[in-house]
Amino acid sequence: MMYIVLYAVIIKPNQEDNFIEAWKGLTSLIYKYEGSLGSRLHKKDALNYLAYAQWPDKNTFDTAGGNLPKEANHFRDIMKASCEKFEVLDKFEVIEDLLMQKQSE
């Protein structure tokens, strides 16, 4: 059963681009090396963001972290420096998934 982790993020002023680029880089590594299903980042207003990461199951999420290359630390450092706050709001098990993927034309 798919598993979701929901995050609240408050970005420091003028750090949005740095945060987004680091978030994309780290998400890509977690996808490649830890088995996540990716993540989505949403913007509420200028400095408030909401993100969620999808995992195939709770166990994959719980055991992730040990396979990332050193490059991940670079992205983590940029994210830390660009955020006022980065917190896990909650974790959920997916019951139904009706999000549609656009077909390539």
For residue 58, being part of any structural domain is answered with: yes
pLDDT attached to residue 105:
63
Give the CATH number for residue 62.
Answer: 3.30.70.100
Question: Computed from CA positions of residues 87, 46, 75, 23, in that sequence, does the dihedral angle turn out positive or negative?
Answer: positive
Q: Is residue 103 part of a domain?
A: no
Instruction: Give the separation between CA 85 and CA 79, rounded to whole angstroms.
Output: 10
Please report whether residue 75 resides in a domain: yes
Q: Is residue 43 part of a domain?
A: yes
Domain annotation covers residue 76: yes
User: Quick one: tokens of 66?
Assistant: 């040990």
CA angle in degrees (0–180, nearest 5) for 62-65-67: 125
Interatomic CA distance for residues 90 and 44, integer angstroms? 18
Per-residue pLDDT tens over the stretch 13-45: 999 999 999 999 999 999 999 999 999 999 999
What 8-state DSSP symbol labels residue 63? T
Q: Which domain holds residue 68?
A: 3-93
> Do the domain assignments include residue 100?
no
Question: Does residue 104 lie within any of the structural domains?
Answer: no
The pTM score is: 0.89
Number of domains in the chain: 1
- pLDDT, one tens digit per residue, over 32-89 is 999 999 999 999 999 999 999 999 999 999 999 899 999 999 999 999 999 999 999 9
